[in-house]
Structure 1
Amino acid sequence: MRDNDGVTSALEAPATRAHAAVPPRLIATDLDGTLLRDDKSVSPRTVAALAAAEAAGIEVFFVTGRPARWMEVVSDHLHGHGLAICGNGAAVVDLHEGPGHHRFTMVREVGHANARETVRLLREGAPGTVFAVEQTYAFHQEHAYPSIHVERPDTYGDADELLAPGGVTAPLPVLKLLAFHPALEPDAFLALARAVVGDRVTVTRSSPTALLEISGPGVSKASTLAMCCAERGIPPEEVVAFGDMPNDVEMLTWAGQSYAMGNAHPDALRAAGRRTAANNEDGVAVVIERILAELP
């Protein structure tokens, strides 16, 4: 059942989920397909809602698969407030000083040797897979990797050479591997990759294409968010989370209150306790406005 603001108020939730009206202390929101509209803009309504939440003492975390250098899309619109968990949990970045001055406060790397072995396993399990390597301050890709990002890589080369001891990636941590397959269906590629690599790494996806995002073992949006919340003494039941894709599933499951967007992937819809309006309809703002209106 949906109310006038487009929020589903009576979705069946997992039995372990608490839906008591606990005033939240932290909002954790995905960006693409969630907070951002399809044109990558942040609506004035959403900007105002996030500012009002922070004014009410509710901390805002942006939790995204994006690398840190792509966070201007948020800080340009939102005046640099908030923290960002980037790379699906691989790094925490302080945005308070504004564009061009982002500071890493936590790094959870894949590890070069682990990345090399993951590449080997995926090449064997899914021939034709091509790779890119995301680092704290660099990006590298194979020549056959598609031009689906907004930037040119720092280096082109075979993934084995890029990740080799003493190679171009050696000086910096590897935050994430990107694996693309030109023929496989996205969810099928995700299932195959998870079966092939096991718990060596964390594999997820947020793209509509067969592009997988590979982080270190145990690294996810949820696990890094949990670390950040523990540092602040914030339990899961005082967190409200928003997301739309498989890389949001763990976070939506972990948070005490969670909302999948109206445009969400079926996995995100199943993981979330509730559903809000689509990203193009300011679904995050709709919920935040309601939360603020219900504060004592």
Structure 2
Amino acid sequence: MTSATDSSLPARPRLIATDLDGTLLHDDKTVSERTVAALAAAEDAGIEVFFVTGRPVKWMEVVSDHVHRHGLAICANGAVVVDLRGGAEGAGELMKVRGLERAAALGVVQALRDTAPGTVFGVEKTTNFCYEPEYPPFEDDPRAHVAPAEKLLQEAGEGDDDPVIKLLAHHPSLPPDSFLTLARTAAGHLASFTRSSPTALLEISGLGVSKASTLALCCAERGISSDEVVAFGDMPNDVEMLEWAGTSYAMGNAHPDVIAAASGRTVANNEDGVAVIIEQLVARARAEGTP
């Protein structure tokens, strides 16, 4: 493993892919001035920046003031690609949606009800979040529909044609990693399972949809290879992305699985671990005379 003070950095990276919560953001959900400056310097050096997060599009305002020219975000663990610089009222312009088929989601619900009794569900759509009555208290959303998951996932009809981008499953007592393993065993043939919360909250996407697979699609469209990508993350939903990228860094606060998956390690999010590495990348690019 390399470290934040190592010289083992990629020679000419073309793209930086960074998670947000626990990675780019401090624990208070702010972006430090040092990080804002580092992102801008990366763009000036010709390195594109992607935000790659489990957050839905509506929660991307946390970086809206710091977009500069880096405005592409992969949200909902790869289910949505949005250009933060476009769209109405700063909401961003949807560029790609990789939804979860409702039939597959219903299959997951049934499998988890059978194998992990007590599981409750939430349904994230492109425009709103709906959930079961027993789901842990969530944001106050007047558009939210509260009902059993089977009803929330019934076939789309008039007024309900928004794609399902993520199913969430919460268990009140199972250990988070055990719940993830159980769910993958029970329904991994139907959908993709991961987690980013310290609680037993699973994030379920369409089969084959992940941060890594959507990042790979976006990079292929731009003629960028995995070897030209530097990625940062801290939780299990980042593992595939860190394994895919040619160079990757686990944060100092990262989950053990993330540390094992990454090719390097930087300091914690509250110590601006992403900025530390970007500053080194930019310094090398300038020393070598790259644009």
Residue from 6, 27, 37 that aligns with 1:9: 6
Q: 1:81: Cα distance to partner? A: 3.1
What is the DSSP-based 3-state SS (H/G/I as helix, E as strand, rest coil) of the residue aligned with 1:156? coil
Residue from 99, 114, 117 that aligns with 1:127: 117
Measure the CA separation in 1 of the matches of 2:113 and 2:5: 42
Q: 1:100: Cα distance to partner? A: 2.7
Deviation readout 1:68-119 (Å, 9 max, x if unpaired): 0100001123347320000000010001238633111010011111111111
1:50 aligns with 2:39: yes
Q: 1:185: Cα distance to partner? A: 0.6
Letter of the aligned partner of 1:41 in structure 2?
T
What is the DSSP-based 3-state SS (H/G/I as helix, E as strand, rest coil) of the residue aligned with 1:154? coil
TM-score, normalised with respect to structure 1: 0.91
Measure the CA separation in 1 of the matches of 2:143 and 2:189: 29
C-alpha RMSD of the superposition: 1.9
Residue from 247, 268, 271 that aligns with 1:257: 247
Q: Which residue of structure 1 aligns with residue 108 of structure 2?
A: 118
Contact 1:90 1:219 in 2 (8 A): yes
Q: Which residue of structure 1 aligns with residue 275 of structure 2?
A: 285
Contact 1:59 1:82 in 2 (8 A): no
Deviation readout 1:206-226 (Å, 9 max, x if unpaired): 000000000000000000000
Contact 1:110 1:175 in 2 (8 A): yes
Deviation readout 1:29-57 (Å, 9 max, x if unpaired): 00000000000000000000001101111
Contact 1:259 1:273 in 2 (8 A): yes
Aligned CA distance change for structure 1 residues 20 and 51 (closer, same or farther; 3 Å):
closer
Residue from 203, 212, 215 that aligns with 1:222: 212
What is the DSSP-based 3-state SS (H/G/I as helix, E as strand, rest coil) of the residue aligned with 1:187? helix
Aligned CA distance change for structure 1 residues 274 and 151 (closer, same or farther; 3 Å):
farther
What is the DSSP-based 3-state SS (H/G/I as helix, E as strand, rest coil) of the residue aligned with 1:38? coil
Measure the CA separation in 1 of the matches of 2:11 and 2:53: 25
Residue from 8, 29, 34 that aligns with 2:18: 29
Measure the CA separation in 1 of the matches of 2:252 and 2:51: 19
Q: Which residue of structure 1 aligns with residue 135 of structure 2?
A: 145
What is the DSSP-based 3-state SS (H/G/I as helix, E as strand, rest coil) of the residue aligned with 1:285? helix
Deviation readout 1:183-228 (Å, 9 max, x if unpaired): 1011110010010002210000000000000000000000000000
1:245 aligns with 2:235: yes
1:94 aligns with 2:100: no
Aligned CA distance change for structure 1 residues 169 and 239 (closer, same or farther; 3 Å):
farther
Letter of the aligned partner of 1:231 in structure 2?
E
Measure the CA separation in 1 of the matches of 2:140 and 2:78: 21
Contact 2:43 2:69 in 1 (8 A): no
Aligned CA distance change for structure 1 residues 80 and 120 (closer, same or farther; 3 Å):
farther
Contact 1:162 1:169 in 2 (8 A): no
1:66 aligns with 2:55: yes
Letter of the aligned partner of 2:28 in structure 1?
D
Instruction: Give runs of aligned pairs for residues 205-220 of structure 1, distance below 5 A.
Output: 205-220=195-210
Letter of the aligned partner of 2:16 in structure 1?
I
What is the DSSP-based 3-state SS (H/G/I as helix, E as strand, rest coil) of the residue aligned with 1:177? strand
Measure the CA separation in 2 of the matches of 1:72 and 1:218: 27
Q: Which residue of structure 2 aligns with residue 182 of structure 1?
A: 172
What is the DSSP-based 3-state SS (H/G/I as helix, E as strand, rest coil) of the residue aligned with 1:286? helix
What is the DSSP-based 3-state SS (H/G/I as helix, E as strand, rest coil) of the residue aligned with 1:234? coil
TM-score, normalised with respect to structure 2: 0.93
